[in-house]
Amino acid sequence: MSAFRLSHAFGGAVRDARLKKGFSQERLAERAGLHPTYVGMIERGARNATLDVAARLADALDIPLPKLISISLKRRLREKLGLGPTEQAQLDRRRRELRSWYRIEKKRVGAETLYVFLGERPKPAESTGISLRKRAAILGAAHGRCQMCGRTVEAHGITLVVDHKIPRDWGGTNEDENLWPICEECNAGKKAHFSSLDRSLMRRVMGHKSVHVRIGELLKASRGKAVTSDLIALVAGQDDWKKRTRELRYLGWRIDVGRKKLASGRVRSAYTLRRFTDWPPDPSGWIRRYELDRAKRNQP
């Protein structure tokens, strides 16, 4: 990136921040201890700002210097991509599209977000197939809150992404009910957890019509290991998944309930299958009939 182009982008960022504050060039120059003509030349990109001058301008604008530089670089990217000043969403979309072709790691350093280029992918990543319109609607309905951990963009500085509740390779679809906005940290943890599960097995689990069978086969597949509540809720696809899990005990199953600490430090309820029996014909129907018979027996 040429010094001229960078100085032009930095000057534009200073001008935008000044106007947003409602400062005149004279007011900004006075606050920064600079001459108004010099400030004007910086804003036009006619002069390069030294690190000391850039820091003084950032202080005068009440903006951390790293953030002002970051704004400048984004502005230069928009120029190179031919995007207008109001098209940040287009820039963000094009940045996300790069992940299909390149491995890019995202890091947080203090209050700043950095992107590290790791190299090309052996083959392009599969597209999620989620339209921009649908993605925007899902994010808008979230009001900035992660639907998994509850943290917010405003309070915690998270970045939300739209992902599938049930992964595509488990048989999940792009329908609205299978999409949710979650933060990048939760999304990474979810994918790491799901990658440890056999895809073909989970596809078979999700293929069962009975919610009881889906939950039961998930617990059986875990071979005595604890299964977190969020995964059971996902497989069940119902708000009353806890009741459906308890109902498996009618079949003679033994399920222990405890707590499990995740790698992120958060704690989830967890269910461990200790004993199970063969499925009767129509398990969910059998359980409903069992409850009806029990209710009749308990009538006075």
Residue 292 placed within a domain? yes
Residue 126 placed within a domain? no
pLDDT band at 211 (very low <50, low <70, confident <90, very high): very high
Residue 99's domain spans which residues? 93-121
The H or E element containing residue 141 is: helix 132-142
Q: C-alpha distances in angstroms, 23 versus 167, 201, 216, 261, 300?
A: 50, 62, 65, 51, 80
Specify the amino acid at residue 291: E
Residues 216 and 293 occupy one common structural domain: yes
101 CB-near residues (< 8 Å, 6+ apart): 120, 121, 124, 125
Helix axes 229-236, 211-221, angle to 10 degrees: 140
* Cα 69-71-73 angle, rounded to 5 deg: 70
Residue 109, number of CB atoms within 10 A of its CB = 8
233 CB-near residues (< 8 Å, 6+ apart): 241
pLDDT band at 4 (very low <50, low <70, confident <90, very high): very low
For 95, counting Cβ atoms within 10 Å of its Cβ (0-12 exposed, 13-18 middle, 19+ buried), the class is middle
Find the CATH number of the domain harbouring 276: 1.10.10
- Average pLDDT of the chain, as a whole number: 83
Straight-line distance from the first to the last Cα atom of the chain, in angstroms, rounded to the nearest whole number: 84
pLDDT band at 2 (very low <50, low <70, confident <90, very high): very low
* Count of structural domains, the chain: 4
Residues 292 and 208 occupy one common structural domain: yes
* Cα 293-297-300 angle, rounded to 5 deg: 140
Residues 38 and 57 occupy one common structural domain: yes
Residues 180 and 212 occupy one common structural domain: no
Q: Are 127 and 153 in contact (CB under 8 A)?
A: no
Residues 257 and 289 occupy one common structural domain: yes
Closest CA to 180 of 139, 222, 239: 139
Q: Are 27 and 82 in contact (CB under 8 A)?
A: no
Residue 127 placed within a domain? no
The H or E element containing residue 244 is: helix 241-247
Helix axes 36-44, 3-21, angle to 10 degrees: 120
Displacement of CA 124 from its chain's centroid (Å): 21
Q: Are 42 and 29 in contact (CB under 8 A)?
A: no
Residues 70 and 105 occupy one common structural domain: no
Find the CATH number of the domain harbouring 65: 1.10.260.40
Residue 16 placed within a domain? yes
Q: Which two tokens stand for residue 202?
A: 């989970």
Residue 277 placed within a domain? yes
Domain end, chosen from 172, 195, 218, is at: 195
Question: What span, in angstroms and rounded, lies between the C-alpha atoms of 159 and 127?
Answer: 20
Question: What span, in angstroms and rounded, lies between the C-alpha atoms of 144 and 151?
Answer: 8
Please compute the mean of the pLDDT values over residues 227-251 and round it to a whole number.
91
| pTM attached to this predicted model | 0.50
Phi, psi dihedrals of residue 106, rounded to the nearest 5°: -105, 130
Model confidence pLDDT, tens digit, residues 246-293: 999 999 999 999 988 766 567 888 999 999 999 999 999 999 999 999
Q: C-alpha distances in angstroms, 201 versus 206, 217, 295?
A: 9, 9, 36
pLDDT of residue 3: 44
28-42, 72-86, 238-252: least confidently modelled range: 72-86
Residues 139 and 223 occupy one common structural domain: no
User: Torsion angle, CA of 130/131/135/141, rounded to 10 degrees?
Assistant: -110
Phi, psi dihedrals of residue 89, rounded to the nearest 5°: -60, -35
Q: For tokens 């906005």, what's the residue?
A: 181
Domain end, chosen from 195, 214, 240, is at: 195
pLDDT band at 129 (very low <50, low <70, confident <90, very high): low
Residues 80 and 100 occupy one common structural domain: no
Residues 292 and 207 occupy one common structural domain: yes
